[in-house]
A and B are shown apart, each in its own frame.
Chain A
Amino acid sequence: MFQNWRNDWFSNVRGDLLAGTVVALALIPEAIAFSIIAGVDPKVGLYASFCIAVIIAFTGGRPGMISAATGAMALLMVTLVKEHGLEYLLAATLLTGVLQIGAGYFKLGDLMRFVSRSVVTGFVNALAILIFMAQLPELTNVTWHVYAMTAAGLGIIYLFPLLPRIGKVIPSPLVTIVLMTLVAIVLQLDIRTVGDMGELPDTLPILLWPDVPLNFETLAIIFPYSVGLAVVGLLESMMTATIIDDLTDTGSDKNRECKGQGIANIGAGLFGGMAGCAMIGQSVINVKSGGRGRLSTFVAGLFLIVMVVFLDDWIKQIPMAALVAVMIMVSIGTFSWDSLRDMKKHPLSTNVVMVSTVVVVVATHNLAIGVFVGVLLASLFFANKVGHFLIIKTEANEQETERGYRIIGQVFFASSDKFTSAFDFKEALDKVTIDLSQAHFWDITSVTALDKVVIKFRREGTEVELIGMNEASATIVDRFGVHDKPEEVEKILAGH
């Protein structure tokens, strides 16, 4: 245990310190931008990012993943903040944490297996689009200076790393922000700065219980928001964890991550921060910069708060245009461009799932609804596909007085119509034999369909014999514990 602990924290000190610093620099503009999306003071997002990053470094299940205030979560709180104010947001954040811890204990992280690849891609793309759209208000009804600065900022971000030597040593978003701030100060441009957007932190966060009445009414207000936040937070965290698992070829404990996210959100709520979760873009930056261990996440949080508290006078003067440039970079980096290219190769159903997820999210601004729609569509498509795996073979005796039907394949709600329509009730027969030994009945719909078939034949005066009913209905049981053993599964699926 001790060795694990040491391995998680101190196996990569130099890389973690450097990467954590790079991430902290990138986190500051994001935390400010996401606070603005949520409609709260920048300090709420900055405190949240600090608390969440530092706490998750200890409690998370995926070393090297960065969690902080995120756009996905910020989008969900907009109406809550507008209608009820900051204190209710803090209360909702606490409740979100409690729900997520519960999810961890009930091992809901395992449910991620129902979220298909295309839904994940849709989620990520939708997130990127939403982050981009959130920047648009900063780019409308402004002078040409803002456009020029944003364009120059993006230019620096992408071209600076190409410089020999210093290009790979100094984070280019930082260069953008410093240069743009200097330009704005020197030219005394009259453009919006971070200071105009609300209060910045000038002290370390302090422990405060949210100032809301503790009654049922409050719960009724915050509960729907908390559920959405908890779901979206866990979804994005689980997806990010999977991405980091793949990148680093190491494992993670998803249920511990759920609980860790919960604890981190409770911490954020108590210290005046908004709810957050894992960040795909930042985590990728962390790995890219060489961060692997828990230390990188911890350093990112700590370094962020130190910089913000000591440099608040400077941060105030950062022009919003520079921030917008950084956020556009984040949205470009988050978007899965491969998914556009792959659309030609992938089957239509997959593309429909992905695109619907994106469209629903962009329309509702709620990632949870989008994922729900995506999962639902994916399941329907799957059910439809499996429904095709049903063949009915039939053979009559020479006098055409008896007929045998042999059912091969899957019978369930999506294929029971096909099942019923395969029988010819008009044929005048003495006896019908239905061989089910190679069929699988998955639900009650299929059993009802079979009953109907039998009754119909009887009414025509035909005698019905069923063969292999027990084998066919063995799959109906809901107790999947039995099916965990390979030999049991083999028995049930025999003949396929």
Chain B
Amino acid sequence: MSKVIACIDGSQVAKDVCDAAAWASLKMKAPLDLLHVLDKDEYPKIDQHSDLSGNIGLGSREHLLQELTELDARRSKLALEHGKHMLEDARKRVETDGVVTVSTHQRHGSLLETLQEAELDMRLLVMGRQGEAHDNQAHSLGSHLENVVRAMQKPILVAVPGFKAPTRFMFAYDGSKTAQKALDKLVQSPLLKGLECHLVMVAEEDDKHVGDLKLAEDKLKAAGYQVNTALEQGDVQPLLSNYQQQHGIDLLVMGAYGHSRIRQFLVGSNTAKMVRLSDVSMLLLR
């Protein structure tokens, strides 16, 4: 049984994550699992009045253990309770959206580890672009997203605020290995069937690129998509952004992070830029 797994937290984008997950779950006819991860490192730091007396007396170690355990217990209980409410809200929302098989899940640990454990059972991962910590900053990348995308082998649907069921998607294609893999996945997946496809490549207009594009177009057509193709020249991110606005695209599909972190550090990454600046939700294929 492979599921659509949606990561829920207390951020504003959580409701969009729910909607996106519900949409995907219905399209793929896959059960939906709502996941909330309790990460101790992410708990708000309580400024405990620390004891700087620097002395240790009878049974200091035992007392300290007791004290720290109680502190953790209180924080964890609160977070646990809070998480349950969030999951309950999320469940109501997706049920209103029409999903029937919904399960909810709470796990302790770091988000990345938890998702890696759940990967075997996962068909699609849905998460928000940014979590609670970045709620007030539009167009900033959450602290987990890139790590998660790089570590996972499954497709990831990144929801941005204001998600609505998409009708037209744009597939950013550059002929690279990552993009070809993404194309194969796209052809097999039922998720985007019936949507209008815009196949866009940003590259020099030469024989190789035209050939690559034609090949991709044929593949998509064979899979039953209605395809519009464009080959454009210029800077990748602004160009794709423009195209998206002109054609009313409401979902962006691309292969993600084809290059190493070192290369990203040196020359930057189109994926990172696109994910950060996009106004619509994204489907990242690995």
Contact surface of A with B, Cβ cutoff 8 Å: 3, 7, 11-12, 15, 18-19, 22-23, 25-26, 157-158, 160-161, 167-174, 243, 246-249, 280-281, 284-285, 287-290, 329-330, 332-334, 336-338
- What chain A residues lie within 8 Å of B52 (beta carbons)? 18-19, 22, 168-171, 289-290
Which of B55, B143, B147 neighbours the largest number of chain A CB atoms within 10 Å of its CB? B55
Q: How many A-B residue pairs have CB under 8 A?
A: 94
Select A333's contact among B48, B60, B65, beta carbons within 8 Å. B60
Q: Does B68 contact A (CB under 8 A)?
A: yes
Give A12's nearest chain B residue, CB to CB: B45
Please report the C-alpha to C-alpha distance between residue A287 and residue B59 in the assembled complex, in whole angstroms.
15
- B57 and A333: CB pair below 8 A? yes
19 sampled A-B residue pairs with Cβ under 8 A: A3-B147, A12-B45, A18-B50, A23-B54, A171-B52, A172-B55, A173-B54, A173-B55, A247-B64, A247-B68, A280-B61, A281-B56, A285-B55, A288-B50, A288-B51, A289-B51, A329-B57, A332-B57, A333-B55
Q: A290-B48, A337-B58 are in contact. Are A160 and B53 (CB under 8 A)?
A: yes
The listed residue (B49, B55, B61, B72) touching A336 by CB distance below 8 A is B61
The 4 A-B residue pairs with the shortest CB-CB distance, nearest first, are A333-B56, A171-B54, A290-B50, A161-B53
B72 to chain A: closest residue by CB: A249
Whether, in the assembled complex, B81 has its beta carbon less than 8 Å from a beta carbon of chain A, the answer is no
Select one of B41, B53, B64 contacting A167, CB under 8 A.
B53
Given contacts A285-B55, A289-B54, A329-B56, 19 further A-B contacts (CB under 8 A): A18-B52, A161-B51, A161-B55, A168-B51, A169-B52, A173-B55, A247-B64, A248-B68, A284-B61, A287-B64, A289-B52, A290-B50, A290-B52, A329-B55, A329-B57, A333-B55, A334-B56, A337-B58, A337-B59
Q: Considering the chains assembled together, what is the distance between the CA atoms of A287 and B64 in angstroms?
A: 8
Are B58 and A15 closer than 8 Å at their CB atoms?
no
Residues of B at the A interface (CB closer than 8 Å) are 40-41, 45, 48-62, 64-65, 68-69, 72, 143, 147
Q: Give complex CA distance A12, B46 in Å.
A: 12
Given contacts A7-B41, A248-B68, A249-B40, contact A243 B61 (CB under 8 A): yes
List B contacts of A170 (CB < 8 A): 52-53
A158 to B57 CA separation, bound complex (whole angstroms): 8
Q: Which of A7, A284, A332 contacts B64 (CB 8 A)?
A: A284
State the Cβ distance, B51 to closest chain A Cβ, in Å: 5
Nearest CB of chain A from residue B265's CB, rounded to whole Å: 10
Task: Tell me which residues across on chain B come within 8 A of A169, comparing CB atoms.
Answer: 52
The distance from the CB of A280 to the nearest CB of chain B, in whole angstroms, is: 8
